[in-house]
Amino acid sequence: MTKPWDATSEHLLRELAPLVLGAVARRFRDFSSAEDAVQEAMIAAFTQWPREGFPENPRGWLIQVASRRMTDQVRSEIARRERETAVGREADIVVPTIEIESDMDPDDTLILLFMCCHSALTSTSAIALTLRAVGGLTTAEIANAFLVPEATMAQRISRAKQSIKASGVPFRLPSPQERAERLPAVLHVLYLTFNEGYVSSIGARLQRLDLAREAIRLTRAAKALLSEDAEVTGLLALMLLTDARRDARSGPDEELIPLDKQDRTLWDRAEISEGTELLTAALSKGSVGLYQLQAAIAAVHDEASRAEDTDWPQILALYELLKRVAPSPMVTLNHAIAVAMVHGPSKGLELLRTLDTDARLSGHYRLDGVRAHLLEMVGDYESAVKHYRIAASRTTSIPEQNYLMTQAARLAERRLG
């Protein structure tokens, strides 16, 4: 055992989880049971490592523990079959030899990603399962991303695991045709994983760099596999153009700093340059999709050296195109902000009213947060304070909650003064 448990240890465990799952699933050819075994190994690590110290080979340690769990399960199944058949044959069940060093292929996580997005699952179930197995998100975080109750998401993930097990899908990269079929779900998973890393939906941390970096790494791997696909390239560009602002997004106490208040000298110019280059290459292919358009919007923001220099008319035009290409309540919400910046906050508020009856977004904190911001812009401070407070009560992110309550307090003081 080497170094003691510290703040980075939990991050490392989350980064290792999909790698360990890939190795165990490939070895035992049973994704559902492997996922359970890896979760048990993670719990063992959380329990033992703080007390006993960090292992020399944390990945190998996790693979060994998970493999032992799997082996115990296989032996238990053998014993059950022996009792039932009284034959005592083990011909159809193989117990692999456990090795501390992983024989994991570098592409294991990418294979796992495509496997979880199998055609046996619905798109939403595939995405939820992959966020759990590959992205390392909790069930609550995934439920937040899908705007559904946690219990509903837990059932969805459980059914998805059983469907994968029943399908007998082999642990290998799919054929080119299968890749094309699963790619939209794969890209959506990567997008949601990055978003959860960039703006953590639960807890005291504003950002989870482990998730954001893993999403970027996997998207790079997907681009290497599908180099001619414009949407894969567009998604990688979007991640880099957004991640470039990471160091400016929070203060020393993890407080949220909104885009228009950020110190833009802290933005990562190398990431912006790479993202812009990728976006240009993607757009040159002719077919413009969801991620390319979002990357283009991010690029316009990144081009402005000051918030007041932002080309809002161009952003508005891009959102109007995005609404036609991939309509969604979140796109409408962001479109309303762009409308407010170009045509005035009253026009933006009119658009927000169309979302009040949308079951996917009504009651979501972002709708109240945006409404509060636009009400502040029109000078209705009393209503703005009300909606800032409602938004704060609905978010499960402590930094966002603190930011919203600070905005409410600021306006309440201004109104009284």
Spans of all domains in the chain: 1-104, 311-417
The 10 Å Cβ neighbour count of residue 361 is 18
The DSSP bridge partners found for residue 202 are 396
Q: What percent of the residues of the chain are helix, what percent strand, and what percent coil, each to the nearest 5?
A: 70, 0, 25
Lowest mean pLDDT among 64-78, 173-187, 375-389: 64-78
Give the model's confidence band at 352: pLDDT under 50 very low, under 70 low, under 90 confident, else very high: very high
How confident is the model at residue 322, as a pLDDT? 96
Q: Which amino acid is at 257?
A: I
CATH topology of domain 311-417: 1.25.40
Upper half-sphere CA count for residue 228 (Cβ side, 13 Å): 2
Distance CA 201, CA 145 (A): 8
pLDDT tens by residue, 322-338: 999 999 999 999 999 99
Answer whether residue 41 shows pLDDT above 50. yes
Mean pLDDT of 237-264: 94
Answer whether residue 87 shows pLDDT above 50. no
pLDDT tens by residue, 120-163: 787 778 878 877 887 777 788 888 777 788 899 988 888 888 88
Q: Which amino acid is at 178?
A: E
User: Do 237 and 295 touch, CB atoms closer than 8 A?
Assistant: yes
343, 340, 319: which is closest to 331 by C-alpha? 319
Distance CA 130, CA 25 (A): 14
Give the H or E element holding residue 202. strand 202-203
Answer whether residue 340 shows pLDDT above 90. yes
The DSSP bridge partners found for residue 397 are 203
pLDDT tens by residue, 158-198: 888 888 777 777 777 788 888 888 888 889 889 988 998 88
Q: Which amino acid is at 415?
A: R
Distance CA 343, CA 351 (A): 12
- Provide the whole-model pTM: 0.77
How confident is the model at residue 11, as a pLDDT? 62
Lowest mean pLDDT among 71-85, 104-118, 143-157: 71-85
Burial of 9 (0-12, 13-18, 19+ CB in 10 A): middle
Report the percentage of the chain scoring pLDDT > 90.
41
Mean pLDDT of 235-264: 94
Distance CA 4, CA 276 (A): 41
How confident is the model at residue 43, as a pLDDT? 80
The 10 Å Cβ neighbour count of residue 400 is 21
Burial of 114 (0-12, 13-18, 19+ CB in 10 A): buried
How confident is the model at residue 274, as a pLDDT? 98
The 10 Å Cβ neighbour count of residue 141 is 24
User: Do 182 and 125 touch, CB atoms closer than 8 A?
Assistant: no
User: Do 413 and 400 touch, CB atoms closer than 8 A?
Assistant: no
> Where does 86-208 have alpha helices with state H?
108-116, 123-133, 139-146, 150-167, 176-198
How confident is the model at residue 161, as a pLDDT? 81
At residue 265's C-alpha, the angle toward residues 261 and 271, to 5°, is: 105
Q: Which amino acid is at 96?
A: P
Answer whether residue 16 shows pLDDT above 80. no
Please give the C-alpha separations between residue 5 and each of 41, 75, 193, in angstroms, as whole numbers. Answer: 16, 34, 26
Give the model's confidence band at 93: pLDDT under 50 very low, under 70 low, under 90 confident, else very high: very low
Give the H or E element holding residue 397. strand 396-397
- Bigger pLDDT: 3 vs 46: 46
Q: Which amino acid is at 155?
A: Q
